[in-house]
């Protein structure tokens, strides 16, 4: 055989292999049902689960607005179905949806309250195992049902799921009163026995015309069941300890008793355990910097004694928030901070003995909170705009 014709035959074989086998995984863009949000609720019958998938309508999303939705032109569709397991419900949705669901761009995973209290591991396994889903979705607990949460009005965004995910991010950055939890962090906490996972709570408020979503509070899980919630103050207390506060306002009063709002610019927090006489002592060190944001009174807050006073007040507020968070956690017997793990890291030998009683030991630990709060800038004006 001449080289030329042999090469032709090789090329033919190659082309055949590639052509015949390759196309199976190809999906055109207009065959995808891009899922932006998933809601998990406990099904009506016991042992079932109801899944809501929010799918984007790509045509309506076009930002040039050629076919601008107009009145009631929603850019998304919510599909709901019930099944015995999450995967079976998801697959069942294809009987309703004209396109196969496509998960890699999912933004939020909302657990309805009923599902959260039922134990979430069985619901989350699908999202951890399937190669399409990703671990950086935000996980939230809905105040009512996840289905309702996904049906709220997106207000400034086009799709409720992306609105909620932006709410979570914004919340963590601007007010830091609830933690933004991604599935990977949730999974990390789930895998450690003594840690208690948390997730922000999304509240659905109905003012008659439309429903809107709001982030309010943090849900606390023990094992994989939701056992309670932290309110805004306690939520921020948790964030202080973990060092995840990125912004927010501390409301306190000046030396004259007038309300003052101090803006948090940056904060650091860490904790370390110590074993004192067989008892656990946790030292939490928080350092914070902030600016004067607003004052309601007339005194000049930039006077140095005022500044010192405000710093002390700030420190008190932070300390109170942290203490409140610890108290609530101890009430719920849930180690949301990860104190147990830190003891494991530092004292592995002693931890082996303490591990199993950690639930009770957690309520008896001694906590010392050291706060260092500083006030740096006063904004554009020093004294308020009042006559001298």
Partner 1 sequence: MRLEKGVITNTQLMFLILSFMEFMVMSVNFVYSICGADAWIAVLAAYAVTMLVAVGYAAIAKSYPGKNLVEINDVVFGPYLGKLFSALYLWFFFEYMIHIAYYFNSFWLTYIMTETPRAVFVILLIFVCAAAVRSGIEVIARCSMVFAIMVPIMAVFAAALLLKDMKLFHFLPILDLPPKDFIQSVHIILTIQFCDIVVLLMILPYAEDNNKIRKPLLIAVSLGAALLLFTVLMSTAVLGARMNNSTSVTFAITREIDVAKVLTRLDVLIAITLLITVFVKVAVFYYATVLGLAQIFKLRSYKPLIVPVGILAIAISANLYPSDMEQVYCARYIWPFNASLFEFILPAITLIAIGVRSLTGSKKERNG
Partner 2 sequence: MINYLKKVIRFRKRKKNSGKERPEARQETDAAFFGELENDLGLLRGAIAESSDLIIRTFIFGRQIKAAIIYIDGLTDKELISETILKPLMYRTDGNPLPEKVDLEYVRAELLFTGSIDTKKSLKDVVSHILSGDTALLMDGAAEALVISLRGWKTRGIQEPQTESVVRGPREGFSETLRINTSLLRRKIKNPDLKFETVTIGERTHTDVCIAYIDNLAKPELIEEIKRRLNKIEIDGILESGYIEQYIEDAPYSIFSTVSNSEKPDKVAAKMLEGRAAILVDGTPFVLTVPMVFVESFQSEEDYYSRPFFASAIRLLRFIAFLISILAPALYVALSTFHQELIPTPLLLSMAAAHEGVPFPALIEALVMLLFFEILKEAGVRLPRPIGQAVSIVGALVIGEAAVSAGLIGAPMVIVVAVTAVSSFTIPAQTDSGTIMRFVLLLLAGLMGGFGISIGLFAILIHMASLRSFGIPYLMPLVPFDRSGFKDTFIRAPLRSMTKRPRGMATDEIRRRNASSPSRQKEEPPKVSSSEDSG
Site for partner 1, rule CB under 8 A: 14, 17-18, 21-22, 24-25, 104, 131, 134-136, 184, 187-188, 191-192, 342, 344-346, 348
Asked if residue 16 binds partner 2 (CB under 8 A), the reply is: no
Three-class DSSP category at 219:
strand
86: tokens are 């999450």
By a kind-dependent CB cut-off of 5 to 8 A, residue 346 interacts, out of partner 2, partner 1, none, with: partner 1
- H or E element that contains 8: helix 3-22
Cα 296 from Cα 217, distance rounded (Å): 27
Asked if residue 268 binds partner 2 (CB under 8 A), the reply is: no
**Which residues share a beta bridge with 280?**
275
In the set 102, 268, 327, 330, which binds partner 2 (CB under 8 A)?
A: 102
| Shortest Å distance, C-beta 111 to partner 2 | 22
Pick the stretch among 56-64, 222-230, 290-298, 364-372 that binds partner 2 (CB under 8 A): 56-64
| Strand pairing category for 366-377 and 279-295 | parallel
Neighbours of 28 (CB within 10 A): 6
Asked if residue 65 binds partner 2 (CB under 8 A), the reply is: no
Asked if residue 59 binds partner 2 (CB under 8 A), the reply is: yes
Asked if residue 170 binds partner 2 (CB under 8 A), the reply is: no
By a kind-dependent CB cut-off of 5 to 8 A, residue 45 interacts, out of partner 2, partner 1, none, with: none
111: tokens are 């657990």
Three-class DSSP category at 135:
coil
Asked if residue 166 binds partner 2 (CB under 8 A), the reply is: no
By a kind-dependent CB cut-off of 5 to 8 A, residue 249 interacts, out of partner 2, partner 1, none, with: none
| Shortest Å distance, C-beta 250 to partner 1 | 26
Instruction: Determine whether 131 is exposed, middle or buried from the number of CB atoms within 10 Å of its CB (0-12, 13-18, 19+).
Output: exposed
In the set 8, 62, 296, 353, which binds partner 2 (CB under 8 A)?
A: 62
Q: Provide the greatest CA pair distance for the chain.
A: 105
What is the DSSP code (8-state) at residue 197? Answer: -
Nearest to 214 by CA among 134, 148, 118: 148
Asked if residue 95 binds partner 2 (CB under 8 A), the reply is: no
């Amino acid at each position: 055989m001449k080289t030329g014709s042999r090469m032709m035959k090789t090329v033919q074989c190659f082309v055949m292999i590639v052509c015949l086998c390759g196309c199976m995984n190809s999906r055109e863009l207009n065959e995808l049902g891009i899922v932006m949000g998933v809601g998990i609720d406990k099904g009506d019958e016991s042992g079932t689960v109801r899944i809501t998938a929010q799918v984007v309508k790509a045509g309506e999303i076009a930002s040039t607005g050629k076919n601008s939705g107009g009145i009631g032109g929603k850019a998304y569709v919510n599909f709901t179905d019930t099944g015995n397991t999450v995967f079976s419900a998801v697959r069942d949705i294809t009987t309703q949806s004209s396109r196969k669901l496509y998960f890699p761009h999912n933004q939020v995973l909302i657990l309805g309250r009923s599902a959260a209290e039922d134990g979430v591991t069985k619901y989350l396994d699908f999202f951890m195992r399937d190669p399409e889903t990703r671990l950086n979705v935000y996980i939230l607990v809905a105040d009512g049902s996840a289905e309702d949460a996904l049906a709220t009005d997106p207000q400034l965004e086009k799709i409720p799921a992306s609105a909620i995910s932006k709410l979570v991010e914004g919340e963590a950055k601007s007010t830091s009163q609830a933690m933004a939890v991604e599935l990977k962090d949730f999974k990390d906490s789930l895998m450690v026995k003594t840690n208690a996972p948390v997730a922000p709570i999304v509240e659905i408020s109905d003012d008659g015309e439309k429903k809107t979503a709001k982030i309010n509070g943090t849900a606390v899980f023990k094992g994989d069941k939701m056992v309670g919630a932290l309110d805004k103050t306690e939520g921020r207390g948790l964030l202080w300890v973990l060092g995840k506060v990125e912004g927010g306002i501390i409301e306190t009063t000046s030396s004259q008793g007038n309300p003052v709002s101090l803006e948090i610019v940056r904060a650091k927090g860490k904790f370390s355990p110590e074993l004192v006489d067989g008892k656990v002592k946790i030292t939490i060190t928080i350092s914070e910097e902030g600016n004067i944001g607003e004052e309601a009174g007339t005194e000049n807050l930039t006077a140095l004694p005022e500044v010192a006073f405000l710093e002390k007040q700030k420190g008190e507020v932070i300390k109170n928030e942290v203490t409140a968070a610890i108290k609530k956690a101890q009430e719920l017997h849930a180690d949301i901070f990860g104190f147990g793990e830190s003891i494991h890291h530092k004292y592995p030998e002693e931890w082996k003995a303490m591990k199993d009683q950690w639930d009770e030991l957690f309520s008896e630990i001694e906590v010392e909170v050291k706060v260092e709060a500083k006030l740096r800038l006063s904004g554009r004006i020093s004294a308020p705009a009042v006559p001298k």
